[in-house]
A and B are shown apart, each in its own frame.
Chain A
């Protein structure tokens, strides 16, 4: 029963995302555009860009994830889907977990896949590319889930966008530090494993706590 409900919510999210493929591309385009802006703003100094590349890639990807959070629950709120969730009698955390996992996959995967190409623009190569992809695969879902909590907390508020950024960005700091730190380390030939393991720890923590917090926020929004 629980498994079927989980699968149903998951399938619905993926199907909806697939039918709005254009929207899926928007964070991706944003990411690519921001990564285009940095070289244009900084001049074509490749050594400077190369040194800053891990931070630039991570910050741009982080902002792309942040922008993708706004509409996460708004359509469900308008159509009454969240009200149905709350009144359905099914554990709201369980429903939220299904939605969050689907959401993390849908938003993160394109960003992770395009990252090595954008990193190549900035002259990142070799082992650092692999570390970049792994760090993003571990870190992006956490950013999605913290962002989803922010979206649930600011649900239905006028001008919620800037407020969402204000409450979510401080919580993004550890992921950014470990993620960019791992890539920096790989570029300088230091071991990156420690930072990656810490990111994996954050992933576990996020997966276990984010659904509970998001469910609490959704329930309050329906009071």
Chain B
């Protein structure tokens, strides 16, 4: 069992195995997304309070989930990179940061689009989740900036890993400090929809979309790591063989 994983973590094997999986994963992701969007946007019933506008949650909520998940995966990869010097994990740190930053940006953008009709404003300082998400975006940008500033990719990955781990310790603290701050400053004008327990006809497509986002994340992450591995190992013999077909 362990040997299989150890072999998989060698760049050469990873390149081959990921290459074999990717077509299947890609097809599955596209089909799953189509099914999930149809389920959420057409089949699921409209909300009794927000009408059709609520349907943005089928993109917004999974993006927000993935923005946190990508950070967790990044920090996990960072730990593996620091402790065991695994090259694939080092590459995964940066690629997770790129994807995570995009998920965060997507969550923010869709959240603001949703906020306009619901709150009447693009940006609501009183909403703790929106604020946490913005800070998360800056944490990602810090990791990316630090990684980009160092020329040697292996050293860059290890330095970025330390920052990612410092960030993961901070994320819960930031989240609760923002919530605490929020309870102090929240004016009476903030309209809040009391969240009724979501009906299962709305919840299932949401969970399904969440699963599809995870699938998308895994697929793109795998593809990105695969390309980066080939780039970093360009002077090795196996990379030469790949290039020559």
A158-187 CB contact bits vs B (8 Å, 1 = yes)? 011001001101110110011001001100
Q: Which of B4-12, B48-56, B168-176 contacts A (4 or more CB under 8 A)?
A: B168-176
Q: Which of B142, B159, B169 contacts A217 (CB 8 A)?
A: B159
Min distance, Cβ B163 to any Cβ of chain A, angstroms: 6
Residues of A within 8 A of B142 (CB): 166-167, 170
Q: Which residues of B contact A159 (CB under 8 A)?
A: 149
User: Inside 8 A of B82's CB, which chain A residues have their CB?
Assistant: 216
Whether the Cβ atoms of A213 and B162 lie closer than 8 Å is yes
Task: Check if A157 sits within 8 Å of B166, measured CB to CB.
Answer: no
How far is the CB of A86 from the nearest CB of chain B, in Å? 14
Contact with A along B106-149 (1 / 0, CB 8 A): 00000000000000000000000000000100110111011001
Known interface pairs A154-B146, A166-B141, A173-B135; A220-B155 also in contact (CB < 8 Å): yes
Q: Is A114 in the interface zone, CB < 8 Å from B?
A: no
| Interface SS of chain B | helix
Interface pair A167/B177, CB less than 8 Å apart: no
* Complex interface: chain B residues within 8 A of A223 (CB): 155, 158
Task: Say yes or no for B167: interface residue by CB 8 A criterion.
Answer: yes
Q: How many A-B residue pairs have CB under 8 A?
A: 75
Which of A146, A185, A213 contacts B165 (CB under 8 A)? A213
Asked if B177 contacts A170 (CB within 8 A), the reply is no
Decide: B162 and A217 in contact? CB cutoff 8 A.
yes
Chain B minimum-CB-distance residue to A149: B166
Asked if residues B184 and A163 are in contact (CB atoms below 8 Å), the reply is no
Q: Is B149 touching A163 in the complex (CB atoms < 8 A)?
A: yes
Specify which chain B residues have a CB less than 8 angstroms from the CB of A216 in the assembled complex. 82, 162
The reply on B181 being an interface residue by CB < 8 A is yes
B181 CB, min distance to chain A CBs, angstroms = 5
A77 to B155, CA, bound (A): 17
Q: How far is the CA of A166 from the CA of B167 in the complex (A)?
A: 13
Q: A202 at the A/B interface (Cβ < 8 Å)? A: yes
Interface flags for A192-223 (1: CB within 8 Å of B; 0: not) read 00000010001001000100010011001101
Q: Does chain B have a CB within 8 A of A140?
A: no
Q: Given the complex of chains A and B, what is the CA–CA distance between A87 and B169 in angstroms?
A: 29
A98 touches B (CB below 8 Å):
no
Which positions 77-128 of chain A face chain B at CB distance < 8 Å? Answer: none
Question: Which of A163, A185, A209, A221 touches B145 (beta carbons < 8 Å)?
Answer: A163
Q: Enumerate chain A residues within 8 angstroms of B163, measured Cβ to Cβ.
A: 153, 167
Residue from A159, A170, A198, A213 whose CB has the most chain B CB atoms within 10 Å: A170
Within 8 A of A (CB), among B90-115: none
Distance in angstroms between the alpha carbons of A174 and B143 in the assembled complex: 19
Interface residue B180 (Cβ < 8 Å from any Cβ of A): yes
- The answer to whether A209 touches B162 (Cβ under 8 A) is no
Min CB distance, A178 to chain B, in Å? 6
Binding site for B on A (CB under 8 A): 146, 149, 153-154, 157, 159-160, 163, 166-167, 169-171, 173-174, 177-178, 181, 184-185, 198, 202, 205, 209, 213, 216-217, 220-221, 223
Given pairs A170-B139, A181-B184, A205-B169, 8 additional interface contacts (CB within 8 A):
A157-B149, A157-B150, A159-B149, A163-B145, A167-B145, A177-B177, A198-B180, A216-B82
* Interface residue ranges, B against A (CB under 8 Å): 82, 135, 138-139, 141-143, 145-146, 149-150, 155, 158-159, 162-163, 165-167, 169-170, 173-174, 177-178, 180-181, 184
Across the A-B interface, give the 3 residue pairs with the lowest CB-CB distance, nearest first.
Answer: A167-B142, A174-B177, A170-B138
